[in-house]
Each structure stands twice: as C-alpha cells, then as structure tokens.
C-alpha cells in the first residue's frame, strides 16, 4: 500500500526507498573500489598514464553514445527490469576482469572492451535509479531523498578508494572480486523491489510499449527542451565545462601520488578527500540554494575550482592532495540538486527518462576528451603543466559564462509548498 500522503512516513520507514538506496550504495561502492583498481592495474600492466586515460575516455564515450537511446528506452520499458539487466551485466563483466587478472590473460584490449560495456551500462543504470527514487517517495520528500542520495554517494566514495587501495595491496584481483559482489547485491535489491502501477508522485510507470508513437520517435525531446531554454542551455554548457576539466582529477591525483612513490593504500586514503568533500557539501545544499540564485551558484563553484586545480600539482604529499580534493568537491552536491530543481521536476514522467539522460549526455559531453587529453598531458608534460592547462580551460569557460545574461539572471522556479522546492530543502 502507498503511504498516506497527508501524513507521510519518514524515509527510513519506506522499505521501497531503502531497497533502492541500499542497492545504490553497494553499486556506487563497487564502482569506487573498481576505479582505484583499474587505475592501479593499468599503470602496473602498461606503466602508461595515457593508457589509464584511454580507459576512462572509452568508458565516458560509451556512456555518451548510449545516453539518448537509454532515455528513450526507459520511457517505454519497466525501469526496474532495466536496473536488473544493468547490474547483472556489470557483475559479469567485472568478474571477467578479475578472472583475467587471476589467470594472467588480461590484455589492454580486454580492458578497453570492459570499459566500453561498463560505460554503456552507466546511463541505463543511473537514470533508472533516479526514476525509481521518484516512484517510491512522495513529492514533498523528494529533495530530502535526493540529499540522502548525496550522503550515500559521499559515504561510499569515502569508503571506496581506501578499500580499493587496501584490497589492491593484498592482491590485484581483490578490488574486482569485491566490485562484482557489490553489483550482485545491488541486483538482489532490485529483484526484491516492487513498484506500484502509480508511484507516490502519481507517475505512471512506463511498461512495454506504453509510450505514444510520437514520444517513441522523438529521442531528442530532452535535448531540444534544454537547448530551447536559454537559461538551461547556458547552465548546461557551464556544467559541461566543469565536468570536462574535473572528471580527470582522480586520475591526475593517482598519477601524482604514484610519482611520489606513495603506497597504494595511502593513495586510496588520499582519494577519500573527494568523498569527504561530498559529505560536507551535502550539508551546504540548503544554505547555498537559499542564499544564492542558480546562476551565481554555478559561477561560484566554477571559479572556486580554478585555483584548486592548479594547487593540486604542488608536491606536498598525500595529505595536500586529500585537502585539495576535499575542497574541490564541496559544491558538487548543490549542483546535482540544482539540476533536479531546474530541469527534472519541470517535465512530465513520460519524458523524464529522455530528459535525465539528455542532461547526463550534455554534462558528460567533454569528459572523454578531457580524460584522454589529461592522460596525454601527464604522459608527456609535467603534472603542473597538465593542471594549469585544466585550470585555464575552466577559467575561460567561467569568464565566458559570466558574460551571459541568461546565467546572471537565472532564478529558481516557483514550486508549490508541498513540492519541497529549492528554498525548503
């Protein structure tokens, strides 16, 4: 039965939300552990930062290719079934990587194939999980639920890198065994999840061929909606620049610490600075959204990242890297919830899958190039040169956006009190 909408039960008593949250926590934890494992394994196998960058670029490019088709697919099919297929595929692929390492038959080609498959799964799994969260919570609990998702992200990012580094120090296969098991647990949570025909938001769950023919054909409806709105277009372009320059930061940090001969387990702990930043940033979502209009929030986060990127290259050891990563992630939760308030809540459910994946696609548009170029810069130039190049790119994007009236004049949308809008998180 659905919760009484007049007196909604707290989220911790919502068993459906807890299943989604738990599955998501295990999935993200596995991804965080594997990310450290892949970077260390590729550097150990090839000794090449460029190869590590290529792995990330292939994964990001595959996610971009699959993004728009994933949205159209999710708007027509059962989202729980999509999540089951996604997590099952991830588990099998990661187990295959572990087997290849164990037998000594893992090649660069196999790793790139794994990167491609994992990248394709990303928009399907990420968007399906977001849509399922909306299906199992009431409208006036949605922002709270999404903030809890940010806390989950930060917690798993905090535990994942140190755990990945520790497991890799014991055996190069252990991070991938752990990740395969994490995906299997996430699969189990989705298997037991039951979604009512109409979720708490009143959204009819897409199933089979339930979409209208016009909606099926218009795979670009999400892109068009964003591109035709000047504020959303300008905000999306700036976030794309932030992601393009910020996505390689984990790879850069690993390469910097390896050059300083830091032990794998300590590299993992240093990377936990990103998670600590997300956790602290989750507490800043409410005050930042209350005191800053969306455009100035975007500009402030972008401009704050510029000196942090440059400072990361200073050779002050793992604790310095931890501090920089912490500061760089403080504004990320506020930006994620900003995207929800500005975009996702403004579209009907039958278009939400395409809109969410359109945003993911546009946000990640420059990530493959940013990751690949960063790997090449680290391969052939100093880390200081690489980070100054990333910082300069972001600075130019932020200054360009500062001159756009659509950014400076952006305002939070008015929402009914029951919708728990940006001003009542």
Average pLDDT over residues 361-386: 79
Q: CA–CA separation, 38 vs 173, rounded Å?
A: 10
Please report the pLDDT score of residue 350 as a whole number: 67
Does 386 score more than 90 pLDDT? no
Within 8 A by CB and 6+ apart from 121, the residues are 66, 86, 89, 90
**What tokens were used for 138?**
């009431």
Does 136 score more than 60 pLDDT? yes
Average pLDDT over residues 264-291: 82
Does 216 score more than 50 pLDDT? no
**What tokens were used for 208?**
């089979």
Model confidence band, residue 179 (pLDDT cutoffs 50, 70, 90): very high
First to last CA, the chain: 26
Does 202 score more than 50 pLDDT? no
Higher pLDDT, 418 or 122: 122
Query: For residue 183, how far is the Cα from the chain centroid?
Result: 16
Model confidence band, residue 4 (pLDDT cutoffs 50, 70, 90): very low
Q: CA–CA separation, 87 vs 183, rounded Å?
A: 5
Average pLDDT over residues 144-150: 71
pTM of the model: 0.64
Does 76 score more than 60 pLDDT? yes
Query: For residue 100, how far is the Cα from the chain centroid?
Result: 27
Q: CA–CA separation, 258 vs 60, rounded Å?
A: 24
Classify 198 as helix, strand or coil: strand
Cα distances (angstroms) measured from residue 182 to each of 29, 85, 90, 310: 7, 15, 10, 35
Closest CA to 308 of 289, 327, 285: 327
Please report the pLDDT score of residue 407 as a whole number: 80
**pLDDT-above-90 percentage for the chain:** 13
Higher pLDDT, 209 or 353: 353
Cα distances (angstroms) measured from residue 251 to each of 55, 97, 258, 365: 11, 20, 11, 18
Maximal C-alpha separation, the chain: 62
Higher pLDDT, 342 or 91: 91
Which of 121-125, 215-219, 286-290, 353-357 is predicted least confidently?
A: 215-219
Higher pLDDT, 222 or 322: 322
Mean pLDDT across the chain: 79
Average pLDDT over residues 367-379: 78
Average pLDDT over residues 181-187: 94
For 50-74, how does the pLDDT look when each residue is reduced to its tens digit (9 = 90+)? 787 788 888 888 888 888 788 888 8
Model confidence band, residue 217 (pLDDT cutoffs 50, 70, 90): very low
Does 199 score more than 70 pLDDT? no
Average pLDDT over residues 16-33: 86
Classify 5 as helix, strand or coil: coil
Please report the pLDDT score of residue 219 as a whole number: 67
Closest CA to 233 of 333, 341, 362: 362
Closest CA to 208 of 76, 85, 81: 76
Domains of the chain by start residue, with CATH: 12-195+216-412 (1.20.1250.20)
Query: For residue 254, how far is the Cα from the chain centroid?
Result: 19
Closest CA to 80 of 179, 178, 167, 205: 205
CB distance 264 to 165 below 8 Å: yes
Model confidence band, residue 406 (pLDDT cutoffs 50, 70, 90): confident
Please report the pLDDT score of residue 204 as a whole number: 43
Model confidence band, residue 114 (pLDDT cutoffs 50, 70, 90): very high
Contacts 24+ apart (CB under 8 A), 358-361: 358/67, 358/68, 358/71, 358/220, 358/221, 358/222, 358/223, 358/225, 358/226, 359/222, 359/226, 359/236, 360/63, 360/67, 360/123, 360/126, 360/127, 361/64, 361/67, 361/68, 361/123, 361/223
For 88-111, how does the pLDDT look when each residue is reduced to its tens digit (9 = 90+)? 999 999 999 999 988 888 888 888
How deeply is 98 buried, as exposed, middle or buried, from its count of CB atoms within 10 A (0-12, 13-18, 19+)? buried
**pLDDT-above-70 percentage for the chain:** 82
Please report the pLDDT score of residue 349 as a whole number: 63
Please report the pLDDT score of residue 184 as a whole number: 95
Closest CA to 268 of 39, 22, 27: 39
Does 357 score more than 60 pLDDT? yes
Cα distances (angstroms) measured from residue 256 to each of 54, 101, 302, 304, 367: 17, 25, 23, 21, 20
Classify 276 as helix, strand or coil: helix
Backbone angles phi, psi at 121, to 5 degrees: -70, -25
Please report the pLDDT score of residue 417 as a whole number: 44
Q: CA–CA separation, 233 vs 410, rounded Å?
A: 11
CB distance 378 to 101 below 8 Å: no
Please report the pLDDT score of residue 218 as a whole number: 64
Does 292 score more than 50 pLDDT? yes
Please report the pLDDT score of residue 9 as a whole number: 66
**What tokens were used for 317?**
């050891």
């Amino acid at each position: 039965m659905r919760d009484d909408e007049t007196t909604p039960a707290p989220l911790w008593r919502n068993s459906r939300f807890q299943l989604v949250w738990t599955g998501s926590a295990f999935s993200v934890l596995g991804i965080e552990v594997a990310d450290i494992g892949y970077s260390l394994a590729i550097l150990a196998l090839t000794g090449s930062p460029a190869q590590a960058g290529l792995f990330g670029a292939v994964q990001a490019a595959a996610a971009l290719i699959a993004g728009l088709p994933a949205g159209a697919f999710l708007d027509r099919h059962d989202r729980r079934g999509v999540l089951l297929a996604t997590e099952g595929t991830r588990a099998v692929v990661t187990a295959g990587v572990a087997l290849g390492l164990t037998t000594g038959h893992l090649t660069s080609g196999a790793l790139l194939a794994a990167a491609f498959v994992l990248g394709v799964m990303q928009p399907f799994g990420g968007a399906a999980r977001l849509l399922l969260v909306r299906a199992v919570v009431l409208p006036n609990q949605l922002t709270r639920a999404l903030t809890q998702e940010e806390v989950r992200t930060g917690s798993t990012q905090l535990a994942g890198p140190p755990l990945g580094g520790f497991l890799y120090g014991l055996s190069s296969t252990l991070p991938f065994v752990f990740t395969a098991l994490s995906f299997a647990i996430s699969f189990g949570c989705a298997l037991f999840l039951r979604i009512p025909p109409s979720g708490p938001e009143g959204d009819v769950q897409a199933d089979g061929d339930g979409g209208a023919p016009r909606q099926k054909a218009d795979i670009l409806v999400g892109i068009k909606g964003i591109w035709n709105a000047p504020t959303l277009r300008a905000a999306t372009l700036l976030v794309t620049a932030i992601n393009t320059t910020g996505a390689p930061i984990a790879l850069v940090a690993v390469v910097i610490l390896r050059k300083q001969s830091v032990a794998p387990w300590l590299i993992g702990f240093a990377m936990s600075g990103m998670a600590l930043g997300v956790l602290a940033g989750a507490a800043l979502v409410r005050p930042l959204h209350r005191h800053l209009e969306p455009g100035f929030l975007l500009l402030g986060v972008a401009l704050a990242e510029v000196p942090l990127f440059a400072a990361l290259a200073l050779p002050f050891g793992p604790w310095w890297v931890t501090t920089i990563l912490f500061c760089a992630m403080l504004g990320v939760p506020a930006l994620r919830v900003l995207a929800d308030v500005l975009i996702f809540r403004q579209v009907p459910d039958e278009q939400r899958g395409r809109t969410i994946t359109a945003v993911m696609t546009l946000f990640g548009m420059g990530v493959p190039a940013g990751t690949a170029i960063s790997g090449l810069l680290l391969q052939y130039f100093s880390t200081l040169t690489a980070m100054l190049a990333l910082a300069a790119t972001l600075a130019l994007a932020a200054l360009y956006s500062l001159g756009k009236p659509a950014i400076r004049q952006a305002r939070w949308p008015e929402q009914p009190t029951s919708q728990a809008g940006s001003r009542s998180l």
